[in-house]
Amino acid sequence: MNLVVFSRAWGSGSRQARPSPAHHLGHNLSQIAKTLRSTERSTMNITQQKTACGCAAAAARNTKRTAYVAFGSNLGDRVSMIEQACKEMDARGVKVKRTSSLWETEPMYVLEQDRFVNGACEVETDLEPLSLLDQLQDIEKSMGRRKLIDKGPRNIDLDILLYSDRKVGHERLKIPHIGIPERDFVLRPLAELIPTKVIYPSKPWKLVQDYLNELPPASEPLSTLTPICSSVAALNALKANRKTQVMAILNITPDSFSDGGIHTPDSLRGTVLSMVRGGATMIDVGGQSSSPGTPEVSVEEETNRVLPVIELIRSLPETRGVAISVDTYRSSVADAAVQAGADIINDISAGQLDPAMLSTMARLGKTVCLMHMRGTPGTMSKLNDYPDGIIPTIAKELLERVAEAEAAGIRRWRIILDPGLGFAKVGEQNLHVLRHFNELRTWPGLEGFPWLLGSSRKSFIGKVTGVPKPMDRIFGTASTVAAAVQGGADVVRVHDVVEMGQVVKMADAIWRY
Q: Which of 183, 305, 330, 458 is catalytic?
A: 458
- Picking from 56-60, 144-148, 287-291, 419-423, which range would have the lowest pLDDT averaged per residue? 56-60
Please write the tens of the pLDDT for every residue from 80-95.
Answer: 999 999 999 999 999 9
Helix ranges, 184-247 (H): 184-193, 208-214
Confidence at residue 163, expressed as pLDDT on a 0 to 100 scale: 98
Go through the chain and tell me how many residues it has: 513
Confidence at residue 56, expressed as pLDDT on a 0 to 100 scale: 45
Please write the tens of the pLDDT for every residue from 361-410.
Answer: 999 999 999 999 999 999 999 999 999 999 999 999 999 999 999 999 99
Please say if 330 is a catalytic residue.
Answer: no
CA 101 and chain centroid, separation: 9
Cα–Cα distance, 359 to 331 (Å, whole number): 9
328 CB contacts (<8 Å, ≥6 apart)?
286, 287, 288, 302, 306, 334, 337, 345, 346, 347
pTM, two decimals, is: 0.85
Query: For 457, phi and psi rounded to 5 degrees?
Result: 60, 15
Please say if 154 is a catalytic residue.
Answer: no
Confidence at residue 221, expressed as pLDDT on a 0 to 100 scale: 85
387 DSSP 8-state letter = T
pLDDT range class, residue 24, cuts 50, 70, 90? very low
Residue 415 has pLDDT above 70, yes or no: yes
Does 111 or 115 have the greater pLDDT score? 115
Confidence at residue 44, expressed as pLDDT on a 0 to 100 scale: 45
Q: Which of 145, 188, 330, 493 is catalytic?
A: 493
Residue 238 has pLDDT above 50, yes or no: yes
DSSP string, 347-378: ETTTTSS-TTHHHHHHHHT-EEEEE---S-TT
Q: Which of 508, 497, 451 has its CA nearest to residue 474?
A: 497
pLDDT range class, residue 121, cuts 50, 70, 90? very high
pLDDT range class, residue 220, cuts 50, 70, 90? confident
What CA–CA distances, in Å, run from 342 to 108, 323, 423?
Answer: 36, 7, 24
Confidence at residue 473, expressed as pLDDT on a 0 to 100 scale: 98
Half-sphere exposure of residue 455: CA atoms within 13 angstroms, side-chain side: 30
pLDDT range class, residue 149, cuts 50, 70, 90? low
Residue 480 has pLDDT above 90, yes or no: yes
Confidence at residue 63, expressed as pLDDT on a 0 to 100 scale: 87
pLDDT range class, residue 336, cuts 50, 70, 90? very high
Report, as an integer, the average pLDDT of 283-287: 97
Confidence at residue 61, expressed as pLDDT on a 0 to 100 scale: 54
- Picking from 115-124, 178-187, 287-296, 342-351, which range would have the lowest pLDDT averaged per residue? 287-296
Please write the tens of the pLDDT for every residue from 307-333.
Answer: 999 999 999 999 999 999 999 999 999
- Residue 8's SS3 state is strand
Report, as an integer, the average pLDDT of 31-35: 47
Residues 336-363 as b or e (16 or more Cβ within 10 Å = b): bbbebebbbbbbbbbbbbbeebbbbbbe
Asked if residues 142 and 91 have their Cβ atoms less than 8 Å apart, the reply is no
Provide the percentage of residues in the chain whose pLDDT is more than 90. Answer: 77
Confidence at residue 153, expressed as pLDDT on a 0 to 100 scale: 83
pLDDT range class, residue 264, cuts 50, 70, 90? low
- Picking from 3-17, 111-125, 276-290, 306-320, which range would have the lowest pLDDT averaged per residue? 3-17
Planar angle of CA 294, 299, 300, nearest 5 degrees: 120
Confidence at residue 5, expressed as pLDDT on a 0 to 100 scale: 33
Q: What is the CA radius of gyration of the chain?
A: 34
Residue 452 has pLDDT above 80, yes or no: yes
pLDDT range class, residue 21, cuts 50, 70, 90? very low
Can you list the domains of the chain with their CATH numbers?
65-220 (3.30.70.560), 229-512 (3.20.20.20)
β-strand partners of 249:
284
Asked if residues 422 and 470 have their Cβ atoms less than 8 Å apart, the reply is no
Q: Which of 345, 360, 444, 354 has its CA nearest to residue 399?
A: 444
pLDDT range class, residue 23, cuts 50, 70, 90? very low
Confidence at residue 32, expressed as pLDDT on a 0 to 100 scale: 41
